[in-house]
Amino acid sequence: MTRQTPPGDPDRLLRAAVGRLDRRRFLTGTSAVAALAFSFGLPGDRSRTGQEDDEPRPADELPPETLTDDPFTLGVASGDPLPDAVVLWTRLATRPLEPGSGMPATGSYRVSWEIARDERFRHLQRRGSAYAHAEFNHAVHVDARGLGAGREYWYRFTVGRWRSPVGRTRTLPARDADPARMRLALVSCQNYADGYYTLLRHAAAQDVEALFHVGDYIYENPVSAVGGHRRYTDRTLPAAHNREPRTLAEYRLRYSLHKTDPDLQAAHHAHPWFVTWDDHEVHNDYSGTTESLVRRAAAYRAYWENQPLRLPQPDASGLTLYRRVRYGRLAQFDILDTRQYRDAQVGTGWRLPLVPEARDPRRTLMGATQERWFADGLRASDARWNVVPQQVVFSRCAFGTRGSAPVLSRDAWDAYPAARERFLTAVDQAGGNRNLVLLTGDAHVAHAFDVKRDFDDPGSRTVGAEFVCSSVTTERDGAARPANWAGLRALNPHMKFYDGRRGYTVVTLDRTATRADFHAVDRVTRPDGKVTPAGSFVTEAGNPGVHPA
């Protein structure tokens, strides 16, 4: 694929691309969004595969001497590890809180990278170079191949006289390996304006093989000059942050703001990440059939630029984020995208009894293609645990009643009963005990649920477990037992745990059980919050359901 350097403003190019697309396809296909987001300037093959021979020199290469300030202000990251590879990421930004990040509007910088078996880089495993191109906001994605399975590595980048921080990463075990254990951290919902990322600093110190982020990496709300509820007294954010992003330039700036946070950088430096998005990466509660497609294209492009993801290949499936990961024979992870392909929410308000339209059997959260992919993969799985990291609460969660009808979230699986039934049918048709575990975000509180085959029948059999991590900051300081604690527990007997504080979860899988250790912080509106254990629950292999550890 040939890299093309477009002249002028990237947002203008996105808008112009609308006119070049067939209107019917544009209005009905999610693939149009991907086509818009990646319709120009795709990097050359070698920059994305991380070969040790350099990417061919572009005509617009800039001398590194023009970088008079540190360009690695956003740190480094790794993600999507395989048994023999991992994606390494950085983005050059000398003044990250300013529009344009202090970087040239055109041109490319040659960036060298190294990955080693030791922290001092005495035993290099691979090295090479890639180009940070202006049209991708000077982001670098290296798919470092030829690594050993199940190993720990350290990596770094260099451009001119500047060297990045060192990151640590891990590859996955070989597919036929039989590891005794895996530990992961689960996080979601990190609204910058709602508080400090203390929980991410805590997660960075955990001994885990990977971190799973299941959505709302950024928020689109304006951020005031004092950082919202962070209430800075020693700094002032530029006015450009105090508005909701709608353009590519504005989404890029929002990622810069989040990524300057030292605790977020620490979590990226410590662990490889698996990421998927939810709604706030674009706009609150958007679906695949709502929101300006130009805005969605800008948000999607900025998301990829700022995450350790392999280069997407836009096709009829759109910008495909759902993917399958094997941790040897211990676990299969099916990472879902329940946002891009979903039908629009029905009814008004956040919570309501189901309106008749919600029961339409054609309504979907995952889209038909992803549903088939999930069912086929579950049926073919020979892993001990089948784990589903995904965005919104799967289990029934009634917030009250209106007459005899439960009051439910219109954005979660509760409002898409036909889609949930197809998911559970796929579990049935896979046969045997699939040791199903769902890992969920979005709720801003922590839960552990028994996944029932029929949530309308309290006596229905249990088919799996769901662990819901709380938010990193969203909704600010919480309480262990919110005002609705007793009511929710009474209305939802399959809810085995509820904590209303901000938090994250460490999940440990072994050959006999999966354990969820919930961690909570007493406050996020100050940087000195204290993190403490909130509860521990297990689900046993061959015995679906949740009980205290």
What digits encode the pLDDT tens for the residues 156-195?
999 999 999 999 999 999 999 999 999 999 999 999 999 9
SS3 192: helix
Report which of residues 47 and 186 the model is more confident about: 186
Residues whose CB is less than 8 angstroms from the CB of residue 501 and which lie 6 or more positions away in sequence, other chains included: 445, 446, 470, 477, 478, 479, 480, 520, 521, 522, 534
CATH code, 10-42+183-548 = 3.60.21.70
**59 exposed, middle or buried (CB, 10 Å; 0-12, 13-18, 19+)?**
exposed
How far is 457 from 505, CA to CA, in rounded Å?
A: 29
Determine the residue type at 237: L
Is the pLDDT reported for residue 48 higher than 50? no
Pair of tokens at residue 509: 């899988």
Residue 12: predicted pLDDT: 76
Helix (H) / strand (E) containing 447: strand 446-452
Write down the residue that tokens 């450009």 correspond to. Answer: 240
Pair of tokens at residue 85: 């590879």
Residue 39: predicted pLDDT: 66
Is the pLDDT reported for residue 29 higher than 60? no
Confidence of residue 94 (pLDDT cuts 50, 70, 90): very high
Mean pLDDT, rounded, for 283-293: 82
pLDDT tens for 452-470 read 999 999 899 999 999 999 9
Compute and round to an integer the Cα radius of gyration of the chain.
23
Helix (H) / strand (E) containing 488: helix 485-491
Strand 385-390, strand 331-335: pairing: parallel
**161 exposed, middle or buried (CB, 10 Å; 0-12, 13-18, 19+)?**
exposed
How far is 437 from 514, CA to CA, in rounded Å?
A: 8
In 3D, which of 210, 306, 188 has the Cα closest to residue 258? Answer: 306
In 3D, which of 145, 165, 141 has the Cα closest to residue 155? Answer: 165
pLDDT tens for 125-150 read 999 999 999 999 999 999 999 999 99
Residue 30: predicted pLDDT: 65
Is the pLDDT reported for residue 153 higher than 80? yes
Residue 51: predicted pLDDT: 44
Is the pLDDT reported for residue 4 higher than 50? no
pLDDT tens for 233-249 read 999 999 999 999 999 99
In 3D, which of 520, 248, 214, 187 has the Cα closest to residue 392? Answer: 214
- 319, 312 contact by CB (below 8 A): yes
Is the pLDDT reported for residue 52 higher than 50? no
How far is 494 from 184, CA to CA, in rounded Å?
A: 25
In 3D, which of 92, 79, 5, 90 has the Cα closest to residue 40? Answer: 5
- Most confidently modeled range among 3-12, 34-43, 144-153: 144-153
Domain boundaries, the chain: 10-42+183-548
The share of the chain scoring above pLDDT 90, in percent, equals: 83
Helix (H) / strand (E) containing 351: strand 351-352
